[in-house]
Structure formats: C-alpha cells, structure tokens
Chains A and B, each alone.
Chain A
C-alpha cells in the first residue's frame, strides 16, 4: 500500500517530530516508508522486511530512559555499535539502564515499578501477556494502538504479512500495550514434536525408517540387540530432563502439545493427560523403557550428561533421541563431512495403533509481545514507537543481529546466491558470535524476522547446514502432520485473580502430571493397572482440574471475544 510514495522519509517523517497528537486509528498514516535501498535483492514472492533509506525521526534533542537486560555479548549498551548506529539514524538518544538478565529480571522490574522508579520504556523484559494486560488496565502502560496505526509503517506491513498478528498483540480489552517483535522460526514450530534417529544404524540393522509405533519399537530392539555402541553401552533411544518425551510419542495416540497439555475441541478447552489415549501412550512408552530401549536416566540426565552420551569418544552410542535439535547432544560446529551429527536425521511422527499420526505444531510462535513496553512516564510515546519501528527495517535487523556491515559480519547477497529455501538470497552472514562483543544487540531489540527473511540467508554448506537441515525436515516430516490450528490453545491473557488461581493450580497439576508420567514410564506405577490409572485421575481431579479448565476457558473466550 505505502510502497511507492517515498516522498517523505522514514521510520518517521513529516509530522513525527511534532505533535504528540495521535488521536485516532483509522486516520491515514502520518508517515510513509522511505524509498527502498538500491541494490538489495529479494527472492520472488518475498514476504518480510525491506531495506529502506531513512532520515532521522526527529531533529530535536530528545532522550529516553530504557531498561534493558545486561548481557555479555551486548556489553555496555550505551557504547554498543548498533546503539550508535541507531542513534544516528533515528536522532533519538537513549539512556540505558541495565539490569541483570534472566528470571531474576522480573524481580528487579517489579521492584522498580513498586518504587515508582519507572523508565520511559522497558526493552526485552520477559513480560507475560497477563502482566501487560494488568499494568495496561492500571494505566501504567498506555495503549499504543493509535501510535502504531499512525507511525509504525514497518509494523503495519508486518501485520499485513501476518494477518493473525493484530489479534495476538491485543490484550483482552482490544488494546495494544506493547510493541511486539516477530521471529518466524519455521522449524521451531515443530520443535516439540521432533526426534532423531541414527540413519547409519538404521541401515546397519537392515530396517527402514519406522512409520508406526510397532516398527519403531522393532527398530530400537534391533539397535539394542546389535549393540552398535559396543560393550553394551548402546542407548537405543535417549532422552533427558529438559526435553520431554511425551511431545513426540503421545502424538501417535492423541494430539498432545506438551506441558501444560491444553487443547481446544469445538471451542472447549481440555487437557490431554487424563484421556484413555494418554494411557495407551503411557503403555507404549513404558514398554520401550521396560525393555531398556530408552536410557534409564531419561528423566534425570541433565544437558551435560546428554552431551556426554552424544559425544562419546570413538563411536556413537546413541541410536536416536528426543531433542529439539541436534546441538543438544552432539557437537554440531564441526565442518568435517564425517562429523558424527551427520549420522542423525529427523524422524517423522509415528502412526499409532489407531491410525493417529500427528506432529504438534506451534501456530502462534512467530509473534512475541512485550518486546518494547512504553510506560506512562514517556512524554513522547509516538517517538519511541517510531524508534522501535525503525528497528524493523531490513538493514537495522541485520545490524541488530550481526553487527555493522562487513565481510566478517554480513553483506548483501549477490545475484545468484541462493537462500536456505533455494531462492535468491538477500544477505550473506559470516559473523563470529563467539568472538564478538559490543557490536550487536543479540536479538534483544525489536525485530521483524519473517520466514522469508530467515531463509533469505545465503546457504553455505559449512556455516548454516544445521539450520537448513532443520528447515528441510520440518517441511518434509513434520508440517504434513500438523494438527488443525483450532486445536491449539492460543496464548491468552488472564486477569489478576485468574492468574493467581491459575498459578497455583498449574504448579500442582504440572508437578503431578510430570511426576506420574515419569512413574508410569519407568514402571514405578503400572499403566496397565486400572487402580493406578484411576488413582492418578483422581489426584488430578482433586488438585482442581475443573477450576483450572474454567480459568483457561475464560482466558480462551476473552482471547476470541
């Protein structure tokens, strides 16, 4: 829509610096995107961020204070190369306040709010939707809808590219309390349902890639029998505590997205873990475990231990694994064509005895809310909205992710360079993450990384083979088996009371289900024993499954309402 124009600059433009008046949505945008940068190539049918020439948002001297996480790679935010570049480009100065990152960050942020020590904005703080909603309603975070509709040209484009996204951004009261970020990681959508097999071993035992649960079991049994790891060290199939088994295996019995195990059927929210199919799944997994086909410590091994299994000196001892990606148990940095990780390929979901064959698919993962949260302290929210929007421009994204343009970071692709999906590439990336500090924002900023952008990276069999492999197997093995979108429980926002109730119920339910799952699989509880199964269902009911589902149902209805 806004394509041609380009009379005015910008992530900002004419009116941007002036009035703080951002009265109505529906009003024609006050700014238009700048002209496309010459010489940047795009694949056909490209959907994603575009490189544009921009002028500063404002010539006034304005400064905003923003709370950001401390990070080794970003280093000092105020002297970071991307900060400098963005400052120059937008004309907006930021006073960064760095707080320790991780789970701890929320503690600090809450204390700041409690003390009334509020910055103009928070960047990359892990807000939950419910928090945004709560603070939004309490007036701490203003509604950004009008500013987004008025100034955020790149975000507007992204919302066109991803039609669901406005709904996902909105709180239940239909307001938008944060500036979002996009990262459409295609292969991540299938991550929970992914598993790998050692294809060399499959060949060695003379079997085909398994299609059904029975074939799978047969294959693992053959692995064990042939003892391909040697000295009885063979682990036919490995799991570890950070990577749940149920998200792969259970989908041969019923659609199971994994913790918190919620799904939607005909508009009704329900859970998977008390269904008879779940029990059938338990029997199957228990059978594997009881036969020694799954490592004994599948529930206790930590990631370091998992890596030890994967990278044993000499030959491989792992026949297959339930992991999100190979890097969790193998050394994937090697460019050696015989590197061990090349033995492993993803395995599609298995068909269960009743013909169920599903891969749990995440439809909602591309959009993250809360990336930039502007507070009521901010006098000129429209400027910060433009500042954020500016980061969604292609060159800004590349600089924010990889550092300044250059042969050792990133460059525009040449004609004929092919991207990860085999089309014209947009950029080449050659940055050395490990040895770079202070050059980029390491994905903390506002980003618009569409699928087109992500696979617009030039394919380089040495550098990003893993990413390509993930993309390919997702396309081939998992996407065809994805569940219908209506079945997935969407990301909901709860009000304060609901959230309080939900916190306790979900803590107790998750503990119980995880504990019992592990017990059923390892045989401490017998899935074939009706009493054990009924006791488990009783416990789940007693914890308050009914109220839990009511809360979630309310959240679900508010989401759609």
Chain B
C-alpha cells in the first residue's frame, strides 16, 4: 500500500502538475453549487450539535426556559461534574468502550470470513448459504427463545452476552460481500491461483490489504452499533458493573420521562426532572465524543483510487 499516499485524486494531481485542462464554465457552476449545498447542509447540522454542546455547559434552568439558542447561557461545568457523582455512569462509559472495541473486532473478523467466500464466483452452494443468511434478516425467533439460547450457553450476565449474540450482522456481510465482488476482480483470483496462492493465502495477502476501506467501515459500524445498543444489556445483564453507558443514558432520557399522573410523589417527579435536565445534554456529549474521535481513523482509508492504485503498483 506504499503507493496509497502518492495516489492523489485525479483532480489534485491535475492541480499539482498544473494540468492545462481548465474547469469549464458549467464545471465551475457545479463546483460552486456543491460547495454551497454542502456548506449549508453542514451549518444546518452543526446547529443542533452546537446547541447540545452549549446546553451541556449552561445553567439548567436557563436551558429549560428556552434562553439557550446557540451559545451557552450562564456557563457552568456542573453537569459534567455531576456525571462523576454517579459511579454507574463512569463504569458504564468504560464498559461501553470495551464492548465497542471487543465487539467490533470479533464481528469484523466473522463478517470478513463470511463475506469473502460468498463473493467468489461459482462457489458451490453459495446461493443456498446466502439465502440462509438473508432469511435470518427477515425471521428471528424472537426475544424469549433467543434469551433461552443465551441462557443455555451460559452467557447470561457475562460480558460475552454483549458480544457474541451481536457478533454478526447479515447486513454487513452483504455489503462487504458486494464490496469484494466489485473490488476483487476474478482475474486477480485467477492470477493468485497461477502463482500458487491458496484461498487462505490469497485472502490474507491480497484481499485484506486491498479492503482497508471496507474493514474500516465494518469496524466503525460494529463499534457504533455496540456503542448505541442497550437492548442486549437490558435483557442479558443483571449486574450493574457490566452495564454499558446507553442503559444509563436511556434511563435518564426516556425512563425518567414518566407520566406525571403515575407519580405518587410530586417531589420525586421534580427531582427526576431536575436530574434529567442536568444530565441530559452532558451525557449526550459524552456519548458522542468517542465515535467522533474514531471517525478520522476510518476516514483515512477513504482515499480515492487507493485500491486500484496499489494493484498496479
């Protein structure tokens, strides 16, 4: 992959060499439109994010009164300090990181193992296996039977219960397989065969190095999936020390939105509301930071022409 960095996108290359071809008028208009549209869209997206960030460092009653529009009002870090009062939030964060990393690694390995053979032309039984995968996207046994299986495997209330049942998403297998079909030409496979490469060797030495973008995407999607998931924790865990952040977040955002008529205690309702108002935004920010930090590492692999370039090189 040494050529990757050299392999600039065509447009950049043209700039670099001072290529004689000029953008046409319509090109210029198109480019201007793209920049403007993207810019506006980014602004539209940025607003709520800035709002959430501002709200997390603002005085809670000012937020509740709707005084925060863009920038913080009554700056305070209380909401972040409050987070550290709750051990379960701190351990939850740590657990989430663990589940995301471990879950993504295990799941990505399984996905690649499934996707590559299924991308190969003429593998006998491929259609059947593919159908077996796709069928499970439509039909599932449902909550209770799955729980019984996890129970019988002895996974209940262990970290494995968070990782193994979510260790493969058929959706990812299909996408990855499609990617392989597009990027690993049959000539390459044939060429590998001629060179005496076994399937294992070919997969390991040729396919994987060529598939960094899709590996990165898989890692990201699985990690994000684990990061955002709460349901498995809810069902399989009964130990607070194993709970991920989302369970806590959900408790604060959704479960404390109690129907006021159901509360026998107005003071408790108010307290819950205060807690919710205080922690809501800071928890969202905390929950957003790791995925945002990770993204640039994924993005790094989205280099145009990386694949073919290295093939030739």
Contact = CB atoms under 8 A, between A and B. Distances in A.
A–B interface present (Cβ within 8 A): yes
A41 to B, nearest CB: 23
B251 A102 contact: yes
A103 B273 CA distance: 18
A243 interface: yes
Contacts of B67: 313
B65 A100 contact: no
Contacts of B261: 191-192, 242-243, 258, 324
Given A183-B264, A307-B65, A466-B266, A434 B271 contact: yes
B141 interface: no
Contacts of A435: 85
B285 interface: no
Interface stretch (B115-123, B189-197, B201-209, B235-243): B235-243
Contacts of A99: 234, 237-238
A98 B240 contact: yes
Interface in B231-276: 233-235, 237-241, 243, 247-248, 250-252, 254-255, 257, 259-261, 263-271, 273-275
B240 A70 contact: yes
A106 to B, nearest CB: 11
Interface in B265-297: 265-271, 273-275, 278
Interface string A292-329: 00000000000110011001110000000001110110
A526 interface: no
Interface string A347-380: 0000000000000000001001000000000000
A331 B66 CA distance: 13
Contact of A327 (B85, B251, B273): B273
B102 to A, nearest CB: 21
Contacts of B156: 117
A72 B266 contact: no
A470 interface: yes
A70 B86 CA distance: 12
B199 interface: no
Nearest to B156: A117
Contact of A108 (B65, B234, B257): B234
Interface size class on chain A is 35 or more
A333 B274 contact: yes
B88 A187 contact: no
A443 B265 contact: yes
B147 interface: yes
A242 B263 CA distance: 12
B45 interface: no
A67 B144 CA distance: 18
Nearest to A68: B238
Contacts of B87: 75-76, 437
B144 A110 contact: yes
Contacts of B243: 70, 100
Interface of B is mostly: helix
B247 A327 contact: no
Interface string B149-186: 00100001000000000000000000000000000000
A23 to B, nearest CB: 35
A310 to B, nearest CB: 8
B151 A67 contact: no
A451 interface: no
B251 A114 contact: no
B61 interface: yes
A107 B143 contact: yes
Interface size class on chain B is 35 or more
B270 A327 contact: yes
**Most chain B CB atoms below 10 A, which of A72, A76, A107, A327:** A72
Nearest to B248: A72
A324 B266 contact: yes
B311 interface: no
B270 A333 contact: yes
A299 to B, nearest CB: 15
B255 A108 contact: no
Given A313-B65, A435-B85, A104 B151 contact: no
A430 interface: no
A433 B273 CA distance: 12
A202 interface: no
Contact of A466 (B64, B148, B257, B267): B267
Interface in B1-18: none
Contact of A102 (B239, B255, B263): B255
**Most chain B CB atoms below 10 A, which of A324, A368, A464:** A324
A554 interface: no
A543 interface: no
Contact of B88 (A70, A183, A308): A70
A101 B253 CA distance: 12
A515 B70 CA distance: 36
Interface string A72-98: 100111000000000000000000011
Contacts of A71: 251
A52 B180 CA distance: 74
Contacts of A187: 266
B238 A67 contact: yes
A242 B260 contact: yes
Contacts of B234: 99-100, 104, 107-108
Nearest to B231: A104
Nearest to B243: A70
Contact of B148 (A114, A333, A443): A114
Contacts of A114: 144, 147-148
A1 interface: no
Contacts of B65: 307-308, 311-313, 331
Contacts of A67: 238
A102 B249 CA distance: 12
A161 B202 CA distance: 81
Contacts of B257: 303
Contacts of B230: 100
Contacts of A117: 151, 156
Leading 9 A-B pairs by shortest Cβ distance: A102-B255, A311-B65, A308-B66, A97-B238, A111-B147, A327-B270, A100-B234, A325-B266, A324-B260
Interface of A: 67, 70-72, 75-77, 97-104, 107-108, 110-111, 114-115, 117, 183, 185, 187-188, 191-192, 242-243, 258, 303-304, 307-308, 311-313, 323-325, 327-328, 331-333, 365, 368, 433-435, 437, 442-443, 464, 466-467, 470
Given A97-B238, A324-B263, 17 more contacts: A70-B247, A75-B87, A97-B239, A98-B239, A107-B234, A108-B235, A110-B144, A111-B147, A185-B265, A191-B260, A258-B261, A303-B257, A303-B260, A308-B65, A331-B61, A333-B270, A434-B275
18 contacts: A72-B275, A100-B230, A104-B234, A107-B143, A183-B264, A185-B265, A188-B264, A303-B273, A308-B64, A308-B65, A311-B61, A312-B66, A325-B269, A327-B269, A331-B64, A331-B65, A368-B264, A437-B87
